[in-house]
Structure 1
Amino acid sequence: MKFFKYLFFLIVLIFVVGSLYIATISIPEEKTLNFETPITAELFEQKIQDLSTYENWFSFPQKSTSEPRLSSAEDFENTTLSWQNETFEAINFQNKNLDEDSIQQRLVLKTWLSSSEFDIRWKFESSENVSNIIVHLKSDANFWQKTEYVFTGKTHLEITEKAITQSLKTLEQTITKEISVYDISPIGKLETGGFYILHATSASRLNFDSILRKSKPIFQSIEEFMKQQELDIFKGKLIVFENFYNDSENIIFSAGIGSKNQVAIPNYFEVLSKQIRSNVYFKTQLKGDYINLKELLSIAEATIEKRELVIDKTLKPYLEFQVDSSDTVNPAEWVTNFYIPIFEN
């Protein structure tokens, strides 16, 4: 009888001492991750706020044991994604708030022994060459989480940190694959022109990266001018190549905005106006990133030669940015038309 009595007290003592030990354990409750990527942060933001995409890129290291369940998809602040895996009896992501540059979410993890609740804040920063996805995790580690840590050697915060880091790498690969899709289509002969372009002129070697970089501030300046003057835009952003067929080392080009009618421009504005004459042009279309513009030019000229058409070198070819980054940040959705003047057969 005394044996069981002593055994009982020993068990109680072990429990008390163990509890005191567990209570003294310190587990980090906050973590900030910084994921750097060359892809614009807005593309990440679109995916991260849409919980229906998580099945394609987000995963914990352990194997899933259930299909993901999406609920309240029509209500952003209550949209919830739930599933289970070999470690957690329940994994629940819930959108809470969407700001101009950040997303707030709640993540709940449950095991047979403990549960944890994370406040997650995704913040998105973009610069010219690199973007940062900043993820802040915050959770209060309770007694049972500490107990589980004693048995497993891993905290829910560590598991979540690893899952987010690896999942962002997967998401980067997914987005890279999506935006690399492009299509170049010869459209054919058509009559166009017969409008004016408000522009500024610059020069570059035949390097589309350089041409686009120099054109961007010109587009912005001309758009501001047209807004000030209350002028209607007839055509969107255009780049007219002035000496494309002169075998010159530098390409002179005019970047600007199309206008239906000629505009009288005050002398104090550094804006010029010229006519794009009506003529027969061969149109080739690129759907995709501007890194494919060189291929667009090559296919356009090869198609013209194949169809035994003759380029009218007295007129100027031009690019038309039908859909660009001001319409969508996804390069796969950009549409650029290249018009080469030809003689009518």
Structure 2
Amino acid sequence: MKIIKYLFFLILIVIIGGAIYFATKDGSFNITESKVVNAPAEVIYNKVKDFKSWQEWGPWMEEDADIEVTYAEKTEGEGASYSWTSNKMGDGSMKTVKVIPNKEIDQVITFNTPVGDSDSEVTWRFEPTEVPGQTKVSWGMKGEQSLMEKVFMAFQDEDMETGIRQMYEKGLNNLDSVVMTEMKKFEISVDGITQYSGGFYMYNTSAARQSDIGTKMPPMMGQVMGFMQQNNIPMSGKPFTIYNSVDQTNGTVIFSTAVPVKDRVITPQGSPVLSGYMEEGVALKTTLKGNYDNIPAAYTKAQEYAIANNLQIDPNTPMFEVYVTNPDEVANPADYITEIYMPVISPVNEQEL
């Protein structure tokens, strides 16, 4: 009996000593993982703000394919929440408590354990870098481990911070991949024969290799816009580009960047920005939804349509493309809208117009 008594006291001493050890052990943690993503902050924020989007890139989905997720009625913005149950990762929930669109998201994550719930702070930060269209994404978690959590983690192969860092790193890489895929999406639709209206426009002209048009066009368009602002000339439509002459053999083109205006404008002698007029006409219209680097594919599809439908492209009337969306207002290139007009000389039935 004395032996049992001594063993009891020994076990009691070990338990008390262990409790004191773990109680005094620092259980605080503050973890942040960051990644630079080649995308505007708004595009990345839109993939994070709604909990329903987390299934596309969340690292825990890879850890437990059987995880069960339950969404609240509100899944984005302040007050949004969701919960989960998992045999491998435990149960828990998350709630969004503060949002500054495209800049910050603050959340509270709750882990349900047999000895009670444990809350931690989760933060998201979206910071533009010095490179246009690039964003530094930071994902953090801060909190305090409970006594039982400190005991449990003491017997694991890796500490809590290491586990969270690895998961956050994987999640940010997944998020990067999802965003890049999203931004590359595009759709091309050949709308058929349409009548387009003419009118006055302000423009400047340059020659370039076809591969250099994308580089030369923005500053040229900026010059036209700047001239119009300086002289209080209002726009009367969407900006467009006219392809005056295309040399397929040498891969060169003479093109004009243009902005519609209501009336003819007399420009000063020597001005690089001039006033022009487009006659109304009939064209094969094609619409691209997606980044501008998909424009060549849109032209190819339009030409295939023209051949299949016996349409003759007018070699004496320049093709032009209209930029329906403003890249300064639409963050995701996948949402850019470009209308391509290829004038035709084929006879057209009035019912087709």
TM-score (norm 1): 0.85
**What is the rounded CA distance, in whole Å, between the counterparts of 1:242 and 1:82 in structure 2?**
59
Say which SS state the counterpart of residue 165 (structure 1) adopts: helix
In structure 2, what is the equivalent of residue 45 of structure 1?
A: 45
Q: Name the stretch that deviates more: 80-89 or 245-254.
A: 245-254
Which of 219, 222, 227 aligns to 2:221? It is 219
Gaps of 5+ in 1: none
For residues 165-176 of structure 1, what are the structure 2 equivalents within 5 Å? 165-176=169-180
CA contact (8 A) 2:106 2:121 kept: no
TM-superposition CA deviations, 1:70-91 (whole Å, max 9, x none): 2251772111111121244432
Q: Which residue of 1 aligns with 2:166?
A: 162
Q: Does 1:188 align with 2:196?
A: no
Change (3 A) 1:226 1:90: farther
Residue 95 of structure 1 corresponds to which residue in structure 2? 96
Distance 1:190 1:25 in 2: 75
Look up the SS of the partner of 1:29 in the other structure.
Answer: strand
Verify the 8 A CA contact 2:68 2:86 in the aligned structure 1.
no
**Structure 1 residue identity aligned to 2:125:** W
User: Which residue does the alignment assign to 2:3?
Assistant: 3
User: 1:41-82 CA deviation, whole Å, 9 max, x = no partner?
Assistant: 422210101112223332425426653222251772111111
Tell me if structure 2 keeps the 8 A contact 1:117–1:140: yes
Counterpart Cα distance in 1 of 2:207 and 2:143 = 56
Superposition misfits of 4+ residues, deviation over 4 angstroms: 23-28, 227-230, 245-249, 266-270
Residue of structure 2 equivalent to 1:290: 292
* Cα offsets for 1:118-143 (capped at 9, x unmatched): 33233243534744322233222343
Partner of 2:318 in structure 1? 316
Match of 1:118 in 2: 121
Match of 2:351 in 1: none
Number of paired residues?
A: 343
**Greater mean deviation of Cα atoms: 286-295 or 27-36:** 27-36
Separation in structure 1 between the aligned mates of residue 138 and residue 51 of structure 2, nearest angstrom:
18
Distance 1:24 1:218, change over 3 A: farther
Contact 2:29 2:143 in 1 (8 A): yes
Change (3 A) 1:26 1:234: same
CA distance in 2 between counterparts of 1:38 and 1:32 reads 20
Aligned residues of 2:104 and 2:123 also touching (Cα < 8 A): no
CA distance, structure 2, for counterparts of residue 102 and residue 214 of structure 1: 35
Kept after mapping to 2: 8 A contact 1:280/1:344: no
Confirm or deny that 1:275 pairs with 2:277: yes
Once the two structures are superposed, the pairs formed by residues 1-345 of structure 1 within 5 Å of their partners are 1-23=1-23, 25-26=25-26, 29-60=29-60, 62-63=63-64, 67-71=68-72, 73=74, 76-99=77-100, 100-113=102-115, 115-125=118-128, 127-128=131-132, 130-207=134-211, 210-244=212-246, 249-265=251-267, 270-345=272-347
User: What's the C-alpha RMSD, in Å, of the aligned pairs?
Assistant: 2.9
| Unaligned stretches of 5+ residues in structure 2 | 348-353
Match of 2:350 in 1: none
Q: What CA deviation, in whole Å up to 9, does each residue of 1:133-164 have, x standing for no partner?
A: 22233222343332121122444443333333
**In the superposition, relative to structure 1, how do residues 96 and 256 fare at CA in structure 2: closer, same or farther (>3 Å)?**
farther
Contact 2:75/2:82, CA 8 A, preserved across alignment: no
Percent identity of paired positions between Structure 1 and Structure 2 = 22
